[in-house]
Structure 1
Amino acid sequence: MTVRIKDCPLAAAAEFIGEWSTLVLLHEVFDGITDFEAMRENLRIDPDLLRTRLDALVARGVLERRDDAPNHYAPTPLGRSLRPVLLTLAAWGNRELPPADRGMILVDARTGEEAEPVVVDRHTGRRVDTEEYVFTPGPAASDAMRARFSKSTGSTNGAA
């Protein structure tokens, strides 16, 4: 059962991403696997299912078919904006695994050193995974959303 909270950006993002295969397909494209047949072979996926999922990503504006090669896909700016999410999610998944059990790791392409991505505020450069950063209702928040955050943060005005 899908739970959709009208004014929750996390719920909206999860709904937009949809199937886990969205992330896997984006991973393929970010790794340079842009050809339909190469994706099908790498992922061992039914071609009709793959076409359906790729068509959905094109329809949502995440991928586009390349004009010079219609069976090749490229990320749109929207698709590229998901790359940091994938990098962070993959690193999070590795965090609990012993190093010998990791199927892939994120490294600096120049040095080969393993990287550990963190999320920072663009304006201050400060990490946002601390108690110093909290959610608060936004301008379009419903009464329920405002009530939720007025209890947990004391904020009811939507200011950050």
Structure 2
Amino acid sequence: MVERTRFNDSDCPVARSVDTIGDWWSLLIVRDAFDGSRRFGEFQRGLGVAKNILAARLRSLVAAGVLDTVPASDGSAYQEYVLTPKGQGLFPVIVALRQWGEQNLFAPGEPHSEMVDRRQGRPLRALEVRSADGRRLDADDTAVNKVG
């Protein structure tokens, strides 16, 4: 089997991020954690992923500090998975992927799930990238200062 290329020591933040959460199962696990899944069985039922793959991804996300394990809230012998502050920081990433998918992967009028403001029940405004002074930025307005 070919060994996976690792980017955990790259000087690029995107490469390091992809190394940690870039496979689809990990992102879907994080999505489901935001939606309230906490137990192995909940993730497995919701995703339909093989148990060995799910176990490996959960271990990886815990090792990376994205998820933590805590005793089950019902006092049983099970453990639950909760997002750490590092994992909570992925919320804008999940929203951005959702909004990109809504704009680009559905036909007009095609039904899909929708994220709404819990208090108002209304769809979220599209995410925007802003400069330090508040200006809206597009890709042409930015540059990457590379190391070395």
Q: Secondary structure at the residue paired with 1:34?
A: coil
Q: Secondary structure at the residue paired with 2:136?
A: coil
Q: Secondary structure at the residue paired with 2:82?
A: strand
Aligned to 1:16: 20
Cα offset for 1:18? 3.1
Match of 1:114 among 123, 130, 142: 123
Matches within 5 A, 1:60-71: 60-68=64-72, 70-71=78-79
Cα offset for 1:71? 2.6
Q: Is the 8 A contact 2:6 2:19 kept in 1?
A: no
Distance 1:102 1:77 in 2: 32
TM (norm. structure 1) is 0.74
Cα displacement string for residues 33-89 of structure 1 (whole angstroms, at most 9, x for unaligned residues) = 111111111111222221111011000000000134543110011100011110011
Q: Secondary structure at the residue paired with 2:109?
A: helix
Aligned to 1:92: 100
Which ranges of structure 1 fall in alignment gaps of 5 or more residues? 143-160
Runs of at least 4 residues off by over 6 Å: none
Cα–Cα, structure 1 residues 105 and 9, in superposed 2: closer, same or farther, change >3 Å? same
Aligned to 2:46: 42
Count of matched residue pairs: 139
Matches within 5 A, 1:45-56: 45-56=49-60
Which ranges of structure 2 fall in alignment gaps of 5 or more residues? none
Distance 2:97 2:111 in 1: 14
Distance 2:6 2:40 in 1: 32
Cα offset for 1:103? 2.3
% same residue? 31
Aligned to 1:59: 63
Cα–Cα, structure 1 residues 130 and 3, in superposed 2: closer, same or farther, change >3 Å? same
Q: Secondary structure at the residue paired with 1:89?
A: helix
Q: Are 2:133 and 1:124 equivalent residues in the alignment?
A: yes
Cα offset for 1:108? 1.8
Q: Secondary structure at the residue paired with 2:129?
A: coil
Aligned to 1:26: 30
TM (norm. structure 2) is 0.79
Q: Secondary structure at the residue paired with 2:68?
A: strand
Max radius of gyration: which structure? 1
Q: CA RMSD in A?
A: 2.4
Distance 2:65 2:40 in 1: 18
Cα offset for 1:2? 5.1
